[in-house]
Amino acid sequence: MKKHIMLVLHFAFIFFALLGIGLMFVNSNYGRGLSWLSSEKYENSEPFEEQLKLDIHHIFDYVNYRDVFETNGTLDLNKNIAGISYVNSPDEEEIFTLDELVRYARTRGYSLDENKNVIGVPVEDNSEVNIRVNWKAYKPNEHYSGPGDIFSTMDSLSKETLTCLGDYYKVVQFMMEQPSNIYFQIRYQRSDTEASVYTNAPDKTVDELKALGKYCFVSGSSLSLDSNLSNPPAEMTVSAESSNPYGNNNYYAIVAVDTNYPAVDAYSAGNASFHRMRVFYIIGLLCLLVGLLGTLITLYQIVSSYRVKKLIYLDKVTFEGSVILSLLSILFFTYLSDKTICKLLHTLFSIPYWNYIDMVVHLSITYIICLIEGFSILRRYHAKTLWSNSMFRNFRKQVSLYFLHHRFTVRFAVYYLVFLVMNFCLWGGVFLVAFYIDGATGMALSAVLGTLLFLLDVWGFHMLFHSAWEQDRINDAVKSISSGNTSYQIDTSLFTGKEKVLAESINNIGIGLETALQEQVKSERLKADLITNVSHDIKTPLTSIINYVDLIKREKIQNPKIQDYLNVLDQKSQRLKTLTEDLVEASKASSGNMQLEFTDIDFSELIYQTNGEFEEKFEIRRLELVTSIPEKRIIIEADGRRLWRILENLYNNAFKYAMEGSRIYVDLEESEDGSMAAFTIKNVSANPLNINADELTERFVRGDVARTTEGSGLGLSIAKSLTQLQNGVFTLHIDGDLFKAQVRFPIKKNSSNT
C-alpha cells in the first residue's frame, strides 16, 4: 500500500513540476533568468521598449499624415488623396478623395478594428483592372524599384489608404483624444514666425517631459540621441530627419512616457501584465522547485523500498541492449505522439501553447520509459545480473580469452595501437570542428571531443599504471617466495587478463611449496621422534646385554671358543650402543633441538689436543699426521663439547676410510680479512669415492659402498649439523680418491693474541 501511495505522490509532484514549467514557459519573460524578478521594472523591460518603438513609429506616421488628412486641424474627408490613370486611357487622370477611397475600401470588405488595424477579407471581383498610380498625397516622395511597381489596383490603393488612415487614428484617438501615458512634442522651425508643431502636450516644456520618466529626445543641432532607455530607438533620428518638411536642422522631437502610468492605455496594461507575469513566474518557479524536490524524495523512497529480485522478460536482455531498446522506444513513441497525441491536443489549445504541449508530451514519454528502464536496472542489481548479463562483460571476456593465448607483447601492441587510433580520431575531430563549425555548436562539440580525449588519455594512463602495479605485485611475490616466505599470497581480486592467470599460478606455486615444506618438516619431526623412541627402546635391552656380557666375562670362562663368542658379543653390543647414541645426537642436531653453551675457545689449542688424542689410534693403521697450525691463538665462540664432537667425527672418519700407511693433513688458517678461521683435514681414501660430496653429509651414507668398515654413515651428518648450529660452515670436497673436509667459524673480534 505504501508503494502505491508513493507512486501516486510521485506523479503528483511531477504534475506540479510540469505546471511550474508551464507557468514560466508561457510567461512573456521566459528565458530572461531570475534577476528581473527582484530588480527590473516594467519601464526597463524589453516589452516596454518594443511598445515605445512602435508608438514612435506611429507618431511619425501621424506627423507625415496630419497635413494630408486634416484641414485647419480637423479631418477632411474631401481632401484629394491620389491621382490615377487607367491603362486604356493613360493621358486622362482621375483624382480620388479620402472619402471615396475609404468608401471603396468598405465595398471591398475592409474596415478598421478597435485598435485601428485593417481587417477583413477582400470581396472577389473579376472586373478589377490595373491602374497607374500617378501620385499619392500620403507618399509624395515614393520611389519605385521597377517600372511595373507604378501599376496597382483600386483594391490595393484603397486598402493602403485605409491603413494610413488607421495609423493616423492610432495617434489622434489613443494619444490625443483619450488620456495617455505617452507624450510627444515635435517642432520643425522654418523661421522665427513660421513653425510646424505636432504634440499632445502643448503646455509642457521639454524638461518637464523628460521629468515624466522615460524619454527620447532628438535635436537637429545634435548628432546624438538623448535618452535614458537602455536600448534607445536609433530609428527615431532617421524618422525625425525624414519627416522634416523644411530641410534644415532647426527642429527637435521628444517622446516621453509617464512611468507612474496614471492613464489607462497600453503602458498601464503592460505594467499590470508585467507584475502579473512576475507573480505567475514566481508561482511557477515555486511549483517547479516543490515538484522537483517531491519527485526526488518520492523516487528515493520508491527506489530504496524496491527489493524485487524476480526478473521479467525485459530483464533477460543484456544491459546495453536494454538501454538501446529504451532509447529507440523514446524515439519511436515521440515520433508517434507528434502524429497523434500532439495533433489532438493542438485542437484544444491555441498556437502559443503548442510548443509547451509538445514538450510536456515528449518529456512524459521519456520519463516513463526511463522509469521503466530504471526499475529494470534495480531488479538486475538485486538479482546480481547487472554486470554478469552485459555485452561489455561478454566482450571483455572474449578479448581476455583471446589475449590469454597470446604473449604479453602482442597484447601491449594491440592496446597501444587502439589507443593511438582513438587519439588520432579524437584529435582529428577536434581540429575539424574547430575549422568547420562555428558558434555554440562548435564549442559544444569541441568540449565533448576534448572531454573524450582527456578520458581516453586517463584510461591509457590507468591501463599502463595498473599493468605496472600488477607486475610490481608479481615481482614482490616472486622475491618473497624465493627468499623462503612460501606462505606469501597475491590478492588477485584487482588483477585482470594474463596477469591474473600468472598471479594465480604463482599463488599455486607458493601453496605447493608451503605444503611440501610443511610435509617435509612433519616428516623430519616424525623421523626424529621415531629415532628417539626406537633408540630409547633399544637402549634398555642393550644396556642389559652389555651388563650381562660383562658379568659373564667375570666368571673366568676357560673355554676359548666361548671366550671368543663373548668378545664378539661385547664388540657388537658396544658398536650398537655407539650407533644408538649417534642416532639420537644426529636427530637432535638436524632438528636444532639441542641446547648450546657458547664460550671463547682457542681453536688452535683444541686441534693440538685432538691430535694428541688420535696419535696412538692413527699408529694402528700407520697413518702419519701432518699438521700446519699457526702459532698465535685463534679464538672462536662455540660450544666446546659440540666442537670437540665435530673434530672427533672428522678424525674418526679419516681413521676409518684413509688408505693404510698414508698421510693425513690437518691445517688451520685465517681468511685474508681475518674474519674466519678455517680447519681443513685431508686424506687419501682407501677406496675410490664414486659419490657426490653433498651426499656424504646425508644420514646413513658411507663412502665405503661395500660396507667393509665399521662406519655408521652418521659422523659427517652430525658434524655438519653441529657446525651449522654454531654459526659455522661445513664443506666437503672430493677429487678422485682425495677427500677434503673443511670447517669454518667466525673469529671473535679483539680476542686474538700472538
Residues 6+ apart with CB under 8 A from 345: 357, 361
- What is the reported pTM? 0.50
Q: Is 59 exposed, middle or buried (0-12, 13-18, 19+ CB in 10 A)?
A: buried
| Selection from 636, 522, 649, 638 nearest residue 585 by Cα | 649
Least confident of 112-116, 176-180, 249-253, 457-461: 457-461
pLDDT computed for residue 593 by the predictor: 67
pLDDT computed for residue 702 by the predictor: 47
Count, residues in the chain: 754
Least confident of 290-304, 365-379, 551-565, 655-669: 551-565
Three-class DSSP labels, 132-198: EEEEECCCCCCCCCCHHHHEEEHHHHHHHHHHHHHHHHHHHHHHHHCCCCEEEEEEEECCCCCEEEE
pLDDT computed for residue 209 by the predictor: 94
Least confident of 239-248, 440-449, 566-575: 440-449
Q: What's the rounded mean pLDDT across residues 138-167?
A: 84
Q: What is the pLDDT of residues 49-80, one digit of tens each?
A: 999 999 999 999 999 999 999 998 899 999 99
> Which amino acid is it at 364?
S
pLDDT computed for residue 713 by the predictor: 64
Compute the distance between CA of residue 120 and CA of residue 125 in angstroms, rounded to an integer: 15
240, 172 in Cβ contact below 8 A?
no
For the cut 50, the answer to whether the pLDDT of residue 754 exceeds it is no
Map grid coordinates 526511463 to a residue.
370
pLDDT computed for residue 729 by the predictor: 93
3-state secondary structure of 598: strand
pLDDT computed for residue 588 by the predictor: 67
Map grid coordinates 596477469 to a residue.
499
Query: How far is C-alpha 215 from the geometric centre of its chain's CA atoms?
Result: 57
pLDDT computed for residue 589 by the predictor: 66
Map grid coordinates 608451503 to a residue.
514
For the cut 50, the answer to whether the pLDDT of residue 705 exceeds it is no
> Mean pLDDT of all residues in the chain?
83
Q: At what angle do helices 154-171 and 98-107 cross, to 10 degrees?
A: 110
Does residue 416 or residue 488 have the better pLDDT? 488
pLDDT computed for residue 103 by the predictor: 93
pLDDT computed for residue 277 by the predictor: 82
Residue-wise DSSP of 439-494: HHHHHHHHHHHHHHHHHHHHHHHHHHHHHHHHHHHHHHHHHHHHTT-TT----GGG
109, 124 in Cβ contact below 8 A?
no
For the cut 70, the answer to whether the pLDDT of residue 110 exceeds it is yes
pLDDT computed for residue 219 by the predictor: 93
> Which amino acid is it at 307?
R
Q: What is the pLDDT of residues 627-683, one digit of tens each?
A: 999 988 999 999 988 899 899 889 999 998 899 999 999 999 998 888 899 999 999
Q: Say how many CA atoms lie within 13 Å of 255 toward its Cβ.
A: 24
**Residues facing 388 on adjacent strands:** none
Q: What's the rounded mean pLDDT across residues 566-588?
A: 75
Measured CA angle at 173 (ends 167, 179), to 5 deg? 135
Three-class DSSP labels, 64-99: HHHHHHEECCEECCCCEEEEEEECCEEEEEEEEEHH
Compute the distance between CA of residue 207 and CA of residue 656 in angstroms, rounded to an integer: 141
pLDDT band at residue 710 under the 50/70/90 scheme = low
Q: What is the pLDDT of residues 331-354, one digit of tens each?
A: 999 999 888 888 888 888 888 778
pLDDT computed for residue 140 by the predictor: 83
Compute the distance between CA of residue 107 and CA of residue 129 in angstroms, rounded to an integer: 16
pLDDT computed for residue 269 by the predictor: 92
Map grid coordinates 693425513 to a residue.
664
Q: What is the pLDDT of residues 312-334, one digit of tens each?
A: 777 778 888 888 898 899 899 99
pLDDT band at residue 139 under the 50/70/90 scheme = confident
Q: What is the pLDDT of residues 193-202, one digit of tens each?
A: 889 999 999 9
pLDDT computed for residue 404 by the predictor: 61
For the cut 80, the answer to whether the pLDDT of residue 234 exceeds it is yes
Q: What's the rounded mean pLDDT across residues 733-750?
A: 88
Torsion of CA 385, 390, 394, 400, to 10 degrees: -90
Compute the distance between CA of residue 150 and CA of residue 159 in angstroms, rounded to an integer: 16
Q: Where is mean pLDDT largest: 108-112, 303-307, 410-414, 455-459?
A: 108-112
Q: What is the pLDDT of residues 600-633, one digit of tens each?
A: 999 999 999 999 999 999 999 999 999 999 988 9
Compute the distance between CA of residue 710 and CA of residue 621 in angstroms, rounded to an integer: 14
254 grid coordinates: 521628444
632, 741 in Cβ contact below 8 A?
no
Compute the distance between CA of residue 231 and CA of residue 334 in angstroms, rounded to an integer: 41
- Percent of the chain, pLDDT > 90? 29
Q: What is the pLDDT of residues 462-515, one digit of tens each?
A: 777 887 888 888 888 888 888 888 888 888 888 877 778 888 888 898 888 888
3, 334 in Cβ contact below 8 A?
no
